[in-house]
Amino acid sequence: MEGVYFTSFAREVLEKRSRRKSEHYAAVYDAIIRHIDAFSEEFDCDIFTNSVTAEFLDDFIIYLEDQGLRHNTIVGYIQKIQTLVRRASQYNYAVDNTYDEIDLKCEPTNAVFLSMNEITRIYYYKFEKQDRRKAKERIRDLFIVGCLTALRYSDYSTLTKDNFQGDYLVKRTKKTNVDVKIPLHAYVKEIYAKYNGFIPCGLCIQYVNKYLKVIMREIGLNDLVTYSFTKGGKLITVTREKWELISSHTARRSAATNMYLTGRMNTFEIMKLTGHRSEQNFFRYIRLTSDDTARSILGDIFFRK
């Protein structure tokens, strides 16, 4: 077996798969290819499929840190490179099996979730200023639908009358191509009626994320959130107001976390809605503070006399 240029192989795989994947998928692999090409040029070395060894990955990690990338971004890049090498082996190209010895772990992210009390507060908030009031209401209502269905933005932003069937919302998800059937929360029913079945849709995700922060700041979600992350190989700690950390994806995290906190649904049932295939990934996904955990176990028999 012979090795081939790694980036040439990566481009070949990307060309075959990107038509079936999201724009984000292509952008991530394009970035990986650019970094490997830059590494190859800087250190005057050709990178073949069998050049991707544990030693190379160690050096490449240091290179990415020097570029100022976040730790979790680097983890994602390394895992995707390992997947590509594994695929190259399946195609009978030469590989060095030490590539699989590198096992980086993601660090906890700063992603937040909204409690049911906060979701209720957002739902009933009255926008008093006339400036873009209707636009803010549409984005808020769309966001609430996401907070109570656990759908991704690509799914909760494309709902039509056909998706609402009695007391359930039925949808084939875009990313995983599976059918989900979700009981309708009272708020979602009210939003459906408010718009005569035409849930606000067709909104650019960048536009929605921009105005979500404006909306959440106006509502007053200004609790301080302190979090740490590794960037450029250095630990950085920052404090932000909560509204700054809210995005369209916060809705899905909030739904999954709140479903779990009820204690009435088991993990498997929630995973059927969120599409997670393993409990390990599911528990990395949901967001629980120490206060949330304490409240959820307060009534457990262990803590009774």
Write down the pLDDT at residue 302.
41
The pLDDT, as a whole number, for residue 53 is 94
Res 200: pLDDT: 79
Tens digit of pLDDT for each residue in 20-57? 666 677 888 999 999 999 999 999 999 999 999 999 99
253-292 CB burial, b ≥16 within 10 A, e <16: bbbbbbbbbeeeeeeeebbebbbbeeeeebeebbbeeeeb
pLDDT at 297: 45
| pLDDT digit string, tens, across residues 75-85 | 999 999 999 99
Average pLDDT over residues 114-119: 93
pLDDT mean over 104-132: 86
More confident residue, 291 or 184: 184
Whether 142 has a pLDDT exceeding 90, the answer reads yes
Average pLDDT over residues 114-118: 93
Q: Which of 152, 150, 184, 187 is nearest to 169 (CA)?
A: 184
The phi and psi torsions of 36 (rounded to 5 degrees) equal -70, -40
Cβ-based burial of 63 (10 A; exposed 0-12, middle 13-18, buried ≥19): middle
* Per-residue confidence band for 205, with pLDDT thresholds at 50, 70 and 90: confident
The answer to whether 6-101 and 116-295 have equal CATH topology is no
What is the CATH class of 6-101? mainly alpha
- CA-nearest of 296, 285, 202 to 250 is 285
Burial track 26-41 (b if 16+ CB lie within 10 A, e otherwise): eebbeebbebbeebbe
Read off the tokens for 253: 């995290």
Could you count the other beta carbons within 10 Å of the beta carbon of residue 72?
A: 17
The whole-number pLDDT of residue 18 equals: 66
pLDDT for residue 21: 64
- The model's pLDDT over 241-296, given as tens digits with 9 standing for 90+, comes to 999 999 999 999 999 889 888 878 888 888 888 877 778 777 777 766 555 554 55
> Structural domain boundaries of the chain?
6-101, 116-295
pLDDT for the residue numbered 303: 40
> Of 9, 114, 103, which Cα lies nearest the Cα of 51?
9
Residue 131 binned pLDDT confidence (cut-offs 50, 70, 90): low
pLDDT tens, residue by residue, 145-175? 999 999 999 899 999 999 999 999 999 888 7
- Higher per-residue confidence, 197 vs 94: 94
How far apart, in whole angstroms, are the C-alpha atoms of residue 147 and residue 258? 9
pLDDT exceeding 90 applies to what percent of the chain? 56
Contact (Cβ atoms closer than 8 angstroms) between residue 3 and residue 51: yes
Q: SS3 for 239?
A: strand
pLDDT band at 1; cut points 50, 70, 90:
low
**Per-residue model confidence (pLDDT) at position 175:** 78
What is the fold of 116-295?
A: hpI Integrase; Chain A (1.10.443)
Task: State the pLDDT confidence band at 134, using cuts at 50, 70 and 90.
Answer: confident
Mean pLDDT of the chain: 86
- Residue 207 buriedness (CB in 10 A; 0-12 / 13-18 / 19+): exposed
> Which helix (DSSP H) or strand (DSSP E) does residue 122 occupy?
helix 116-124
